[in-house]
Amino acid sequence: MKRILIILSVALCLAGCGIYSFTGTSIDPDVHTICIPTFEYKAMRVNPSLANDLSEEIRTRFRRMTRLEQVEMDGDLEIIGEISAYDVQASAVTANEVAAQNRLTVSVRVDFNNVKHPEESFSGKSFSAYADYDSSNSLDAVESTLCAEIIDKIVEDIFNATVAQW
């Protein structure tokens, strides 16, 4: 019983301090809002829905995993990004020098501005993720599935770099 009370007391102290949460974030108690404008699309190869899908996934992650209110502008935190690359390359080649697998890679550049604690801000940080697919499939046939997988990886990395500080 005594052990349970000690564990409960420690948990309440950690949760109550506002700096650490059980979702893994470390957001200072004076930070209340976040602004995440839609990412710009600057890659040469076009995917018309990728910028919106990525931006929405980031907003959803912050809505679910933090207490921050999302605002259109002038947030305490601001994440501004651009999709800088969207490329397909052969990732595995057969003995006949034919691609057996292709790799879709997406790269984004992110500027993170923490108005209340500028020392935590960063500019131009790159995040990249990829997914492989069998070359017998066309990119059009697998693109939405691959992009969802890639977006999940990139969102996790951006979230960790901004508020989880991993």
- CATH number, domain containing residue 125: 3.30.160.150
Q: Is residue 50 part of a domain?
A: yes
When pLDDT is cut at 50, 70 and 90, the band that residue 166 belongs to is low
Cα separation, 27 vs 77, in Å, equals 10
Domain presence at residue 92: yes
Q: Look over the chain and give the mean of its residue pLDDT values, rounded to a whole number.
A: 86
- pLDDT tens digits, residue range 9-66? 555 444 444 444 444 567 889 999 999 999 999 999 989 999 999 999 999 999 999 9
Specify if 10 maps to a domain.
Answer: no
Residue 26, pLDDT score: 75
124 in a domain, yes or no?
A: yes
For residue 78, tell me if it sits in a domain: yes
Report the pLDDT averaged over residues 75-82. Answer: 97
How many domains in the chain?
1
Higher pLDDT, 110 or 20: 110
DSSP state string for 7-53 = HHHHHHHHHHTSS--TTS----TT--EEE-PPPEE--SS--TTHHHH
With 90 as the cut, is the pLDDT of residue 96 above it? no
Q: Would you state the pLDDT for residue 90?
A: 86
Residue among 130, 144, 133, 128 at smallest CA distance from 92: 133
19 within a domain of the structure (yes/no): no
Tell me whether residue 16 is in a domain.
Answer: no
**pTM of the shown model:** 0.81
Domain range for residue 123? 30-164
Residue 18 domain-assigned?
no
**What angle in degrees, to the nearest 10, is found between the helix axes of 139-159 and 50-65?**
40
